[in-house]
Structure 1
């Protein structure tokens, strides 16, 4: 049973797609459960995004698909029911190597009411990159699954090119690699390109200028501020695990003070 009727979900996906405007980035302050989603919505958010690291940690699991898919989907369903906003879910690597497994995960996310999803191109076990052709097949399967359901799911294709080396070693050759993947992922039916790990302004600028897909950057130390990212043409800014870590740090410090 879905938590939203078909017309509501169609409207949510259209609304979410329209929020991705290069130069006027959508800001996603990632949530991890219905309570945090409501808090973010109350702050004036235009959409809600989950972050796999945060959802896993909040439920006592490590990141990397250790959180059972059924639990992730139940959490998504409750978030969708809790807020009147489009919700995009971090599906990590799709809970399976084969295209069919990715498609099944996308169907489960759609059934839970998702308007968008993230799908990454690295292996959960060690973070190494999949072959581009393999990831293309997985994205094609994801798009076909969404099309079969009649939902224009926003598929944010995440590339982990910049997680393969420390930031000090990032260079234009890595931008070339990310753009090559971006072109292939666009042809496979992806809606956006998520490039976490990149921090240098010159590299971000080229990604935004040359990507065939709207570019999503993750906030982390060294990343330009929101205004500068907008000037560079970024379409989406994610906060990843930062909100959860900040909330838990506050909780620890408050508890320490209360017991001190």
Structure 2
């Protein structure tokens, strides 16, 4: 059953338009996204962390992630891919063990990042995860997030070159996809796509071409990242601030009706 879900998820990277992931952060938001017709749901590690009272950036305990994923899997029927940051460990074996806890829950894929680590660190984790998945006779789509653009890990003139170099290292280790948040320019995207054998995933960002232009560039996946969760938390802050100040609750036309939410979660 799990292999079928992963196969379904893998095929979503071969459609004419990129797979669009409106990243969720809990069971409720995952259910809302699925109900809108999403072919798959992805998590935002930042949104998950904030919703559980942690800062983003490798601080969320694996137990909290497991719990969040369990709750999402309970309400979802479409494939779920989970942002696992760095695998919650610097050690490949521990990272693989952590990921297998999520694989056992039935997830279809993961995002695992390099951050400021040397590429060899992530490559070792990919190898360990691939080995663990193979031993368990399951399957998993391993999407590697490289922060070359996002964190400026190379001089501007070398960002594309460094991204391609890392992509080849990760592909050799067993990665199934490359996520390059922060890449925007069509010529840069085209160059990366032409030089790698992995489907390219980009993140929604001001200045990024629209989904149809991305399709022409052979981008295979588009993620919202933490954006939707940031808007949601911002709306919560604004409503609560007004209520605490005046006692008035300014519900907007965007508020979901109580009955609709009951129906969705039922």
Give your verdict on TM over 0.5.
Answer: yes
- After the TM superposition, which segments of 4 or more aligned residues of structure 1 sit over 4 Å from their partners? none
Q: Distance in 2 between matches of 1:22 and 1:201?
A: 20
- 1:140 lines up with 2:127 in the alignment: yes
User: Match for residue 157 of structure 1?
Assistant: 144
Q: Distance in 2 between matches of 1:98 and 1:113?
A: 23
Q: CA deviation at 1:68?
A: 1.1
- 1:215 lines up with 2:200 in the alignment: yes
User: Match for residue 170 of structure 1?
Assistant: 156
Q: CA deviation at 1:114?
A: 1.1
- Unmatched tracts of structure 2, length 5 or more: 249-266
Q: Distance in 2 between matches of 1:99 and 1:115?
A: 20
Q: Distance in 2 between matches of 1:95 and 1:67?
A: 8
Query: Which of 220, 224, 230 is equivalent to 1:245?
Result: 230
Q: Distance in 2 between matches of 1:92 and 1:165?
A: 18
Q: Distance in 2 between matches of 1:13 and 1:22?
A: 15
- 1:197 lines up with 2:182 in the alignment: yes
Once the two structures are superposed, residues 37-92 of structure 1 have per-residue CA deviations (whole angstroms, 9 ceiling, x without a partner) of 00001111000100100100111110112111101111001101111010000010
* Counterpart contact for 2:95–2:129, Cα < 8 Å: yes
- Unmatched tracts of structure 1, length 5 or more: 1-6, 123-127
DSSP-derived class of the 2:89 partner: coil
* Structure 1 residues 166 and 68, CA gap change in structure 2 (3 angstroms): closer
Greater displacement, 214-223 / 29-38? 214-223
Mapping for residues 54-73 of structure 1, pairs under 5 Å: 54-73=47-66
Higher relative contact order (CA 8 A, sep 6+): 1
* Counterpart contact for 1:25–1:230, Cα < 8 Å: yes
Q: CA deviation at 1:164?
A: 2.9
Q: CA deviation at 1:146?
A: 1.2
User: Match for residue 27 of structure 1?
Assistant: 20
Q: Distance in 2 between matches of 1:72 and 1:164?
A: 24
Q: CA deviation at 1:22?
A: 6.6
- 1:93 lines up with 2:86 in the alignment: yes
* Counterpart contact for 1:77–1:113, Cα < 8 Å: no
Q: CA deviation at 1:134?
A: 2.5
* Counterpart contact for 2:143–2:179, Cα < 8 Å: yes
Q: Distance in 1 between matches of 2:100 and 2:183?
A: 31
Alignment length (residue pairs): 245
* Structure 1 residues 157 and 22, CA gap change in structure 2 (3 angstroms): farther
User: Match for residue 11 of structure 1?
Assistant: 4
Name the Cα RMSD after superposition: 1.7
